[in-house]
Structure 1
Amino acid sequence: FDSLPRFLLDQLSSGGIVIAPIGPEEGEQVLAKLTKVGSRFEREDIGLVRLQPILRGVAAII
């Protein structure tokens, strides 16, 4: 994700945490920890990652 979809973030309760890659689908992304504090979010960058998108049907072939 270049950013996390708001509908996913809205599902967190206060104190909830999500860890997700943020950035372009191709190349490096930042693995970020987002913690919901009241109605806002605190972001802590964990490090750079290169994640591949999940492709439907690939696991069945492997």
Structure 2
Amino acid sequence: MTGELTADEVRKLLDLEPNATCGFVRVTFVTKQSIAAGGLAAPFADGRPLGSALYFMVTPGAPVRL
């Protein structure tokens, strides 16, 4: 035993969920402030939080898909 975690163990530990385009993700914070509708160009014109933070992990079996 090396004491190192596998990717699957990290995914479970951080409660990461599969994402269609970027491996595994979990949002950890979203600001209360937001950008008003019309403040950004499409496809974000409906408005959105000013900022957020997330855990993000890609693996050979769950790569980034552009």
User: Normalising by the residue count of structure 2, what TM-score does the alignment of the two structures yield?
Assistant: 0.18
Structure with bigger strand share is 1
Which structure has the larger Rg over C-alpha atoms? 2
- Taking structure 1 as the reference length, the TM-score comes to 0.19
The structure, 1 or 2, with the larger RCO (C-alpha pairs under 8 Å, 6+ apart) is: 2
